[in-house]
Structure 1
Amino acid sequence: MAQRYRLDRGGRIDRARPLTFTFNGQTYEGYAGDTLASALIANGVHLIGRSFKYHRPRGHFSAGAEEPVVIQLGEGAYTIPDVRATQAELHQNLAAKSVHAWPTVNFDLYAVNQYASKLLPAGFYYKTFMWPQGAWHFYEKRIREAAGLGEAPDEPDPDFYDKRYAHADVLVAGGGPAGIASALAASRAGARVILADEQFEFGGSLLSRHHEIDGKPGTDWVAEAVRELEANPEVRVMPRTLVFGYYDHNWVNMLESLTDHLAEKPRDVPRQRFWKVRARQVVLAQGAIERPLVYLDNDRPGTMLASAVQTYVNRYAVKPGNKAVVHTNNDSAYAAALDMKAAGIEIAAVIDQRKQPSGPNTEKARGAGIEVYAGHGIIGTEGGKHVRKVKAAPLSPDGSRVDGTPVEFDCDLVAVSGGWTPSVHLHSQARGKLVHDAEIGAPVPGEPLQANRSAGACNGTMGLKSVLAEGFKKGAEAAGALGFEAGTQPAPEADDSDFRPARWVWLTPSTKPVGHGGKHFVDLQNDVTAQDLYLALREGYHSIEHVKRYTTCGMGTDQGKTSNINALHIVANARNMEPQEVGTTTYRPPYTPVTFGAWAGRDYGEFFDPVRKTPMHSWHEQAGAVFENVGMWKRPWYFPKAGETMHEAVYRECRQTRESIGMLDATTLGRIDIQGKDAVTFLNRVYTNGWKTLKPGHCRYGVMCREDGMVLDDGVTMCLGENHYLMHTTTGGAGGVLAHLEEYLQTEWPDLDVYLTTVTEQYATAAIAGPNARKLLAELTDDIDVSKDAFPFMTWREGHVAGMWARVARVSFSGDISFEINVEAHNGLHLWQTLMTAGEKYNICPYGTETMHVLRAEKGFIIVGQETDGTVTPYDLGMDKLVSSKKDFVGKRSLQRPDILDPNRKQLVAVLPDDPSEVLEEGAQLVETVKDEPPMDMVGNVTSSYLSPNLDPDKPRSFALATVYGGRHKHGQKVYAPMGDKTISCTITDPFSLYDPEGVRLRG
């Protein structure tokens, strides 16, 4: 198909490289250097989508990231939803289609919503779908069918993504004139600079306008500047790189596109690279976004920002229309009108809301024969899938009403300019203050809270000469703040026409009240109108954040780049307030959407979670172990023999351990080395029990709480020497505990002389348990006396086991006599093999985590995260003796609250099913009174449930641990567990009475 709207000459496209692409199944042609938007316009395709709520026709509106209309890019596994055609670089065989339209964008059945618009005002879904009761599932299905802006691919992403870290003296965000000038100034001073811009060409507005700098075209100045920067080894020049997030301590995130613009995607190159940059200084130079004007039916395809029309004409050599009306309130649109006229677009009229338009561009337009209607505003448009006529009229002095006879203009293009909004997004993300600038009608950067400065249009500076001067100044200041000698660099000569003279009519009136006879659209993607904003105010939503959420204004994929400022002023006027009083909505990263793939990088599939394996892992594999994932570790779950089920294997492992000896790979326990003269003070503060009496060679069990008094972790800590301790944590909680301890040391007790080092992976641990454990250990050591008197419970000894240095702890999680043998990690496999070989005569068996759970539960020992759920205190677990009344510790005050001491709180108990063969389900609810049907009053729930071979010598015996309201006072009482088609009757008992209640075996 011929590109009938392509200009014969001009533009920055490569006419020697024609490209074909498809849109909605139709094949078109374009050129290298086009975006999908410019190529569609060249082919006369203006209807590209539908709006979110009313499914009204939507066309090209902008030329950049502010575009509210999105499309679906690519096919199959490569498809990407919600892409802006303005940002999609054209390549051979690119395929795209419209979204949010069914069955086609030209004939969308959901467009019937337009005719029911009075039934679909802001917030209608909060009120409409509540009746009749129970009908929500019917509504939900239909709403889901009609909602959404794109389709996620069904297949796995075939691309891969990378992450990279970088440091810079000065990071410049934005490659327009201000950004280039800043980078030049900083780099010439000797600073290490990163210059990043989202577009594939540097230059920003200079690529779209006819400016001269130092007597030559602005694009020539850009080319020379970029060559200088690229030749500097201390400068990284990054096109196609979006700076989208600005966090604390000058931590900046960027997204670099590497293959999106290529027809053939190299398989060895990532699609995108996620950059994480720490910059000493940041210069923000993201420019400004042109605002639309809010007038009646201002959403018809063919309505575009004036600067976008100028970009398409000058940069891409395409005509968005043949006959245009320009609607403006400032001088900048006149430059666009002149460029449009030069490109062969007939200018029917310039509708200027100002009473006495003035400015260099205004006079040039009049001199070129362009008719200007001063003091007028567009009060309505006509057209279906494309604008074909506008109606304008004089406005009253205050701009609140029509004050004269309307005049009509035929046109197929409306270029609008409501002034310029500085892109303050990154400044705000960095927690910088905003100050409302009445001259430009928008907020500008105020005092920054980080080491950054804004330059150019994003700082409210609009004239090119002023922008360049400010860019050089801010770049030099950034380098100078770091000690570089920047000197004074004069700005080049350039046109300095300013866009500030403007008249602010935030809501152009029509001949009827707002909300009658058509719609004044504020948000083109979400179909938010001025009437919706008024409705939100009437319903009590006065905060601008509440108005945003109630109306969804600015909540689309464009994040309100063209709608939020207009909405802010409409709300301010309606409330008779100053814009500064209303404030702005929160600017959150990312600046524009970022793919999930970029966030994930290579951390997906098998790399999503790091896999940690103990030194004995290969032995476990050869022994046929079944593994489970615990805190990133691969832990043996059980070791089945040929033909054994899981339950049979666990039953055997439990019995052999109690009768002779079993061995557990306990390498995965978290270990934190604690040193410093205040180490014991630190332990005293983080654990509920006392630690000052713990001597070297001894161990102590401790419970750790959060500030709310709830159990965070537990474990055994060994005193290795004066001011030196080794803390053990749960496998899954190790990272969280270390973070918890580090936070307190850094924020609450920075005066303490304490140093924490994670040493989990420095050791391998084999825990042997059972009556023959002492015999086996005695055979393998010559320098450790393992007798009961010499090596009592809760002590540790250092020596050699199987010829290797070892630290052996006399602790037990099984409830039996047990020794935990710790060796250097590289000796772990040898230790394990030696123990297994030497233990054959004792019928030693390896056991996994499931057997470990059964053995510890038989003894009444808890597992944090299983018997606890973030609402359980030490008192609830029966650990009252471990809560010191003589010292302070984290959580102590919370543990003194009356509700924490309430005897009717859920407390740990054991539950014995009356039928020993019935095993309760973990998580099962417990009741005291059984009814024929729910609801029933729940009194507790099962936390652990097993079948034990050891509680009854004659037969297997089921048992469970549970938390029950007032459980410690209900020993001997009945509870019931409704489980599907049956109810299991149980008896509550003491959890510590099930196995060896006196601890004879434990201390034997």
Structure 2
Amino acid sequence: MTKKSFRIKGAGRLTPARTARFTFDGKTYTAYEGDTVASALLANGVHLMGRSFKYHRARGVLSAGAEEPNALIDVARDAARRQPNVRASVQDVFDGAIIRSQNRWPSLSFDTGAINNLLSPFFAAGFYYKTFMWPKEAWAKLYEPIIRRAAGLGVAPKEEDPDHYANRFAHCDVLVAGAGVAGLTAALSAAETGAEVILVDERAEVGGALLFDTSTMIDGRPGYDWAQDVLSRLKAMANVTVLTRTTAFGYYTHNFVGLAERVTDHLPRPGKHLPRERLWQVRAKKVVMATGAIERHMVFANNDRPGIMLASAARTYLNHYGVAVGEKIGVYTAHDSAYEAAIDLKHAGVEIAAIVDCRANPGDAVVSAARALGIEVLTGHCVLDTSGRLRVSSMTVAQNGGNGKRRIAVDALLMSGGWTPSVHLFSQSRGKLKFDKAKDRFLPGLHVQDGVSIGACNGTDDLPALLAEAVAAGGGTLSVSGSSLYGWTGGMIGAAEGAGPETAVKAFVDFQHDVTAKDIRLAVREGMQSIEHIKRFTTNGMASDQGKLSNMHGLAIAAEMLGKDIPEVGLTTFRAPYTPVTYGTLIAHSRGDLFDPARKTPLHDELATQGAEFEDVGNWKRAWYFPRRGEDMHQAVNRECRTARETAGIFDASTLGKIEVVGPDAAKFLNLLYTNAWDTLKPGKCRYGIMTREDGFIYDDGVVGRLAEDRFHVTTTTGGAPRVLAHMEDYLQTEFPDLKVWLTSTTEQWAVIAVQGPKARDIIAPLVEGLDLSNEAFPHMSVAECTVMGVPARLFRVSFTGEIGFEINVPADYGASVWKAIWERGQALGACLYGTETMHVLRAEKGYLIVGQDTDGTVTPDDAGYGWAVSKKKPDFVGIRGLQRPDLIRENRKQLVGLLTKDPTEVLEEGGQIVADPNQPKPMTMLGHVTSAYWSETLGRSIAIALVAGGRARMGETLYVPMKDKTIAVEVTDMVFFDKEGGRIHG
């Protein structure tokens, strides 16, 4: 038997010469190239495309765009290439596509989940909040597993995604979102001024409403033809980038817009070199929003049956795809635009059963045009109900307020309740909306970024006014004129909510989540007054379509119940993304080995050659220790510690964060950012600095060298470099913009080789040119610019081990060659290489803290024993007021102290809790915890650093660290375990 086709000969813009074959739930269908899945199925007479989430009601396609809530499908090329929850109305058909319906079992036409529809009286809005509260014990064992199994519509793929995705950054003068009449006009206007323009549209073709509107003429040509001519002109211009199948999904601060481009989802055999999707991150001087408007549905009993759809959708399927959505079609409307759909279908030979208009006095032009074609028009009437199981078969009509009912047979029902401006991007930009009472709609009000809304999304319905508005937005002087056969008028929210007892009526507001008008009313009766509360109580607008169709109806019904105007009820928040974006698009190349890219220092390969074991420190690969044959980690670290103390150790310190702070106000700026003073630091000297947040807690630390009156070399912790630079930039731009200071990240520019130990000077002296390294000429905490082996260098006399030490900074490209020479000298003198584990032990022996390990975000400089680093003379710095809070200067705060175990061989566990009495009843009172703990080969015993309440007042006291199998006694001591006088650091 031959399948019936609903293609209208001579209609649409697709050609039967190019076809594609695909399957839907195992059945094979033929589509035209350019079809969406929805248009192809409709062409084959298939209206049933999905099931709703809660009640599993039969659903068909409702729209022809991204607002589609019903026809969500699973699209696959093969077993590994599968994507759920794709909107059939926007997914292009490609040859070989495997399409499956979702949220049903065992089949779409017979779904056992439909039993929920019969049980719907038990699933009223908010039932989950009430049902799942009792008994408490049932949540984890009963409710949660059931809810998790029921959650979601599609099934997420478990196979690894074989496709690849791309990421691109772009800048432009003007970004135009939307390529309808307004967007095309604005883009051309801007382009002709020479501006760099990016034009994006989520559809495969430009034109917007011109895809279905055949009555509009622009510059003397049919609107669609005009749009294609403008597209050709734009593509020929070097300063214009046109991106179709691209959604502007997010409008962020500083005119930053996220775009998701679908590159190959429409291709039958995409090349392996092409990404499946591409994320564009665009920074625009100006953003022009020409995002159009979304047609509203009508709210009446059983308005969700397959075959019931928006009037504009039916018009799109006819005029662009050449498909009739039925053979006998009814129309229910509160807006003139639905008449145009009926008229177009009538001209195509489709029977229009009746136009039901809930308005008593609609536009004369469209009513006259419809009646002239023999179409029955029932003004002042409403649709009360529909019938049909898997597709609508009739509508029940009555006069507004009347008792008489009339049943009219239809196989499709079109509806239009007016148009809602698409203000999502505008709202994401933090723009403020205003309410248009005359047409019950929100419009863009106050723009807070450099952007402008034009066309239908701005409420501009008149075509000449729209064209003028678009030309002005583009900034050019383009001359363009246009006219439309019918002027759109009217528009209202809702219209008849059905007849009969409210409990028996399902008049759907949110199709995807099965939210009805009575659910909204119930929420208000339950005490919800804010639309945000109503949204969460009913889940209205919380589906993947973000309420594009349901929000305004929900607002109107709630406002009516509350006796308030719509703006008084509030407005839900439109959040990015505008439509769902795949994880693949967002992460692009950040997967597998590239998910968390490893950063390697300029010395990495040389250290690997020497047998280094590496550890991950943030994104960095750092040499952990250097085992020799037969050594385990502890033996290698003990040897490295001993050699560094007795001879010398060489360490790769390249990962230290480095920031160049330059300008006439550099010292003044650092005075404000650090707790200690910098205007007293002379060029050629270094100082250890502590940075606090506003609350007074330690944020970062590091050595800062002053190279000149207006130049500082600032070092930060390895993991702190990006956040410290961002912290500095934040204050420079927002709090101290008058200061003449420039900040530059130089972490990657310098390779840093630290040489520490008694023979450090002997190792580097022959390699350093033009600098006296004696104690008198170059004492501890000095810095100088010099040359090392002819390479420009910055030499710091600093130490993180307590031994005489030097840090040699050379350009990264020369790091390996300089390191080889230093290592050759070091080997000859008995030095060793050491890694981060040895560095930790050596610094702990001297009581030097590590921010983030010995601090936890609640430690002040005084808590750490570094109160000396807080200037008593400076009138202001970031954190000064925080440090004066009573809680931060009270006695018994947790303070950093040293711990020595009573058994010298016992090494504590980092994180171990500390108590005063191990025999106290549980829960014990914890005094603090161990932050660092090591075996010290130098001291021949274990050492530890800990945060202890009132720690400095407990010197000599015995405390306890309860472990799982034993309790360890410890003595509270000073943090400095080795060379308390500090003589070794001066050589």
TM-score tier by shorter-chain length is over 0.9
**Deviation digits for residues 775-817 of structure 1, max 9, x if unmatched?**
3334545754444444332223454545655433222111222
Q: Do residues 810 (structure 1) and 797 (structure 2) align?
A: yes
Percent of aligned positions that are identical: 50
Q: Do residues 772 (structure 1) and 759 (structure 2) align?
A: yes
Separation in 1, partners of 2:780, 2:866: 19
Unaligned runs of 5+ in 1: 397-402
Separation in 2, partners of 1:782, 1:450: 55
Which residue matches 2:43?
42
Which residue matches 2:567?
580
Match of 2:81 among 73, 78, 83: 78
Separation in 2, partners of 1:307, 1:317: 14
**Deviation digits for residues 824-845 of structure 1, max 9, x if unmatched?**
3333222222222222244211
Unaligned runs of 5+ in 2: none
CA RMSD of aligned residues (A): 2.5
**Contact 2:684–2:782 (Cα < 8 Å) also in 1:** yes
| Change over 3 Å in CA distance of 1:773–1:229 after alignment to 2 | closer
Which residue matches 1:416?
415
Q: Do residues 712 (structure 1) and 691 (structure 2) align?
A: no
**Contact 1:945–1:961 (Cα < 8 Å) also in 2:** yes
Which residue matches 2:311?
306
| Change over 3 Å in CA distance of 1:240–1:992 after alignment to 2 | same
**Contact 1:453–1:474 (Cα < 8 Å) also in 2:** no
Separation in 2, partners of 1:253, 1:276: 5
Q: Secondary structure at the match of 1:732?
A: helix
Match of 2:670 among 683, 689, 694: 683
- Opposite residue 272 of structure 1, the aligned amino acid is E
| Change over 3 Å in CA distance of 1:908–1:53 after alignment to 2 | farther
Which residue matches 1:210?
214
- Opposite residue 337 of structure 2, the aligned amino acid is S
**Contact 1:976–1:983 (Cα < 8 Å) also in 2:** no
Q: Secondary structure at the match of 1:439?
A: helix
**Deviation digits for residues 105-133 of structure 1, max 9, x if unmatched?**
33333333333333333333333323323
**Contact 1:24–1:96 (Cα < 8 Å) also in 2:** yes
**Deviation digits for residues 602-621 of structure 1, max 9, x if unmatched?**
34333344543222222111
Which residue matches 1:400?
none
**Contact 2:959–2:972 (Cα < 8 Å) also in 1:** no
Match of 1:838 among 817, 825, 835: 825
Residue pairs, 1:157-172, within 5 angstroms:
157-172=161-176
Deviates more, 1:141-150 or 1:594-603: 594-603
Deviates more, 1:553-562 or 1:343-352: 343-352
Q: Do residues 889 (structure 1) and 888 (structure 2) align?
A: no
- Opposite residue 1000 of structure 1, the aligned amino acid is G
Separation in 2, partners of 1:208, 1:794: 76
Deviates more, 1:255-264 or 1:268-277: 268-277
Count, aligned residues = 981
**Contact 1:631–1:733 (Cα < 8 Å) also in 2:** no
Separation in 2, partners of 1:870, 1:507: 59
**Deviation digits for residues 926-975 of structure 1, max 9, x if unmatched?**
344447996444332232222222222xxxx3333222233333334444
Deviates more, 1:301-310 or 1:333-342: 333-342
Residue pairs, 1:362-377, within 5 angstroms:
362-377=367-382
Which residue matches 2:179?
175
Q: CA deviation at 1:559?
A: 1.3
Separation in 1, partners of 2:768, 2:195: 63
Match of 1:852 among 839, 848, 855: 839
| Change over 3 Å in CA distance of 1:46–1:726 after alignment to 2 | same
Deviates more, 1:968-977 or 1:139-148: 968-977
Q: Do residues 148 (structure 1) and 152 (structure 2) align?
A: yes
Separation in 2, partners of 1:504, 1:198: 27
Q: Do residues 616 (structure 1) and 603 (structure 2) align?
A: yes
Separation in 1, partners of 2:809, 2:241: 50
Match of 1:985 among 949, 968, 975: 968
Match of 1:551 among 521, 525, 538: 538
Which residue matches 2:34?
33
Deviates more, 1:970-979 or 1:34-43: 970-979
| Change over 3 Å in CA distance of 1:791–1:554 after alignment to 2 | same
Which residue matches 1:119?
122
Q: Do residues 497 (structure 1) and 486 (structure 2) align?
A: yes
Match of 1:638 among 625, 632, 640: 625
Which residue matches 1:949?
937
**Deviation digits for residues 475-495 of structure 1, max 9, x if unmatched?**
331343xxx5x16x2413x32
| Change over 3 Å in CA distance of 1:804–1:164 after alignment to 2 | closer
Match of 2:345 among 333, 340, 347: 340
| Change over 3 Å in CA distance of 1:226–1:838 after alignment to 2 | closer
| Change over 3 Å in CA distance of 1:804–1:272 after alignment to 2 | closer
Q: CA deviation at 1:258?
A: 1.9
- Opposite residue 294 of structure 1, the aligned amino acid is V
Separation in 1, partners of 2:34, 2:785: 72
Deviates more, 1:670-679 or 1:892-901: 670-679
| Change over 3 Å in CA distance of 1:793–1:180 after alignment to 2 | closer
Q: CA deviation at 1:298?
A: 1.8
Instruction: Provide the TM-score with structure 1 as the length reference.
Output: 0.93
Which residue matches 1:399?
none
Residue pairs, 1:634-783, within 5 angstroms:
634-778=621-765, 780-781=767-768, 783=770
**Contact 1:185–1:473 (Cα < 8 Å) also in 2:** no
Q: Secondary structure at the match of 1:236?
A: strand
Which residue matches 2:324?
319
| Change over 3 Å in CA distance of 1:974–1:309 after alignment to 2 | farther
Separation in 1, partners of 2:909, 2:9: 77
Separation in 1, partners of 2:158, 2:922: 40
Match of 1:297 among 289, 299, 302: 302
Q: Secondary structure at the match of 2:100?
A: strand
**Deviation digits for residues 863-882 of structure 1, max 9, x if unmatched?**
11111222221122121222
Separation in 1, partners of 2:765, 2:9: 95
- Opposite residue 561 of structure 1, the aligned amino acid is K
Q: Do residues 512 (structure 1) and 513 (structure 2) align?
A: no
Separation in 2, partners of 1:504, 1:874: 62
Q: Secondary structure at the match of 2:232?
A: helix
Separation in 1, partners of 2:868, 2:855: 18
Separation in 2, partners of 1:882, 1:189: 58
Q: CA deviation at 1:264?
A: 0.3
**Contact 1:506–1:570 (Cα < 8 Å) also in 2:** no
Which residue matches 1:476?
471
| Change over 3 Å in CA distance of 1:281–1:78 after alignment to 2 | same
Q: Secondary structure at the match of 2:279?
A: strand
Separation in 1, partners of 2:237, 2:687: 61
Separation in 2, partners of 1:556, 1:237: 31
Q: CA deviation at 1:170?
A: 3.5
Deviates more, 1:115-124 or 1:353-362: 115-124
**Contact 2:498–2:507 (Cα < 8 Å) also in 1:** no
Separation in 2, partners of 1:136, 1:911: 46
Separation in 2, partners of 1:193, 1:666: 46
Separation in 2, partners of 1:904, 1:556: 52
**Contact 1:382–1:388 (Cα < 8 Å) also in 2:** yes
**Contact 1:241–1:256 (Cα < 8 Å) also in 2:** yes
Which residue matches 1:107?
110
Q: Secondary structure at the match of 1:982?
A: coil
**Contact 2:650–2:831 (Cα < 8 Å) also in 1:** yes
